[in-house]
Amino acid sequence: MDTTVTTGVKENVWGGGNRPLGASYGKLMMWFFLVSDALTFSGFLAAYGFSRFKFMDIWPIADEVFTHVPFFHGNYPMIYVAFMTFILIMSSVTMVLAVDAGHKMKQKAVIWYMFATIIGGAIFVGSQAWEWATFIKGDYGAIETKGGRILQFVNAETGERVALADFAKTIPSERVDHERKNGIWFYGETALPSFSVNEVVAGFKANPDILIRTETIGEDGHKTLLTRQESLDKLSDASQVVEGANLIHNEYGSRLFADFFFFITGFHGFHVFSGVVINLIIFFNVVLGTYEKRGHYEMVEKVGLYWHFVDLVWVFVFTFFYLV
């Protein structure tokens, strides 16, 4: 944008020219947005790091939480998260190729590379939604004490976690008053867990090969395993059954872990979803030949900056939540 001064000499409104650092106004504004967004993510991750350091001895172990793979049963620590990360990084590669093709005014190449980027982003968002659903549902269940501590159940011989459904006893008269037909479920409670505390305790007493481990991490890096007698004593402090994770309870350990997980990964997931939507708009403009008519593909480059930022942020989120 230019302005004319009284001397009749044309000057630029920018002190260093109207294209600082060789960037257009739109691209410069995108950089401003990314810097501010980076500061926001930095604040969130710093808060997460502080909380984890403060509650290090009860923080859930990622290898024991993120062990699921769609359509497969078993323990596969970090496998699917690594797959999600690979997909997102590869989508960043295809975006680079799309920008490069745009510089060379190769419309068909831009179309294919942007299409691949959109597919990669959609797979990542879908995978994150599945991961959320799995985390919320849980797969073992646990007991929460009156002090808010989590008690998990393990096989005394193998040390592997045991689901409540594998040993809890069903007591027919335990929850008759809370059936849906009686209406109490709708007014007095949230959805009930699969078993009551009494049913879990009764099943535990009937299975001497099951022990309790607490959420406290010992010097060996593993959660503390209690003896049979210590386990029985601990159950006397049981308050409620916890299945899965939400903002109030977390069967894997500290509730704060679930709070940060939902907030930070959700915030990042919203960015990825927004990026997919924006990429779709730019993609259709490329197909329609909008940027061919303009004589440049700068919009592809600007959305590419946003997409690379989203990928870079995920590297830090992945490191903080899953690796460290």
Q: In this predicted model, which residue has the larger pLDDT, 218 or 6?
A: 218
Contact 320, 313 (CB under 8 A): no
Place of tokens 């044309």: 10
Give me 208's structure tokens: 């001497």
Per-residue model confidence (pLDDT) at position 29: 87
pLDDT at 204 over 60: yes
- 12 pLDDT band (50/70/90 cuts)? very low
Band of the pLDDT at 219, cuts 50, 70, 90?
A: confident
The per-residue pLDDT for 241 is 92
Q: What is the DSSP string of 76-99?
A: -TTHHHHHHHHHHHHHHHHHHHHH
On the question of pLDDT at 82 being above 80, the answer is: yes
9 pLDDT above the threshold of 50 = no
Residue pair 59/254 in contact by the 8 Å Cβ criterion: yes
Q: What percent of the chain stands above pLDDT 90?
A: 58
Cβ burial of 199 (10 Å; 0-12, 13-18, 19+) is buried
Tell me where in the chain the CATH 1.20.120.80 domain(s) lie: 27-138+257-323
Give backbone dihedrals phi and psi of 154, rounded to 5 degrees, phi first.
-135, 160
Residue 272: per-residue pLDDT: 97
Cα separation of 283 and 290, whole Å?
10
Average pLDDT taken over every residue of the chain = 86
Residue 316 has pLDDT above 60, yes or no: yes
Q: Annotate 27-43 with b (16+ C-beta within 10 A) or e (fewer).
A: beebeeebeebeeebee
- Four-point Cα dihedral 301, 92, 39, 124, nearest 10: 130
* Of residues 48 and 192, more confidently modeled: 48
Q: Looking at the predicted structure, is the pLDDT value of residue 273 above 70?
A: yes
Residue 247 has a CB neighbour count (10 Å cut-off) of 10
Q: What is the largest CA-CA distance in the chain?
A: 97
Name the more confident of 272 and 248: 272
10 pLDDT exceeds 50?
no
- Contact (CB, 8 A) for 122 and 88: no
Residue pair 213/21 in contact (Cβ under 8 Å)? The answer is: no
pLDDT of residue 181: 60
pLDDT at 15 over 80: no
- pLDDT range class, residue 296, cuts 50, 70, 90: confident
* pTM reported for the whole predicted model: 0.84
Q: Whose structure tokens read 């929850």? A: 175
**Residue 143 backbone class (left: φ over 0; alpha: ψ -120 to 50; beta: rest):** beta
For 27-138+257-323, CATH gives: 1.20.120.80
| DSSP 8-state class, residue 245 | B
CB within 8 Å of 205: residues ≥ 6 apart = 232
Banded pLDDT at 136 (limits 50, 70, 90):
very high
- In tens, the pLDDT along 143-194 reads 999 888 999 999 988 888 999 989 988 877 655 555 556 555 545 555 677 7
Name residues whose C-beta falls within 8 Å of residue 4's C-beta, 6 or more positions apart in sequence: 10
pLDDT class of 127 with cuts at 50, 70, 90:
very high
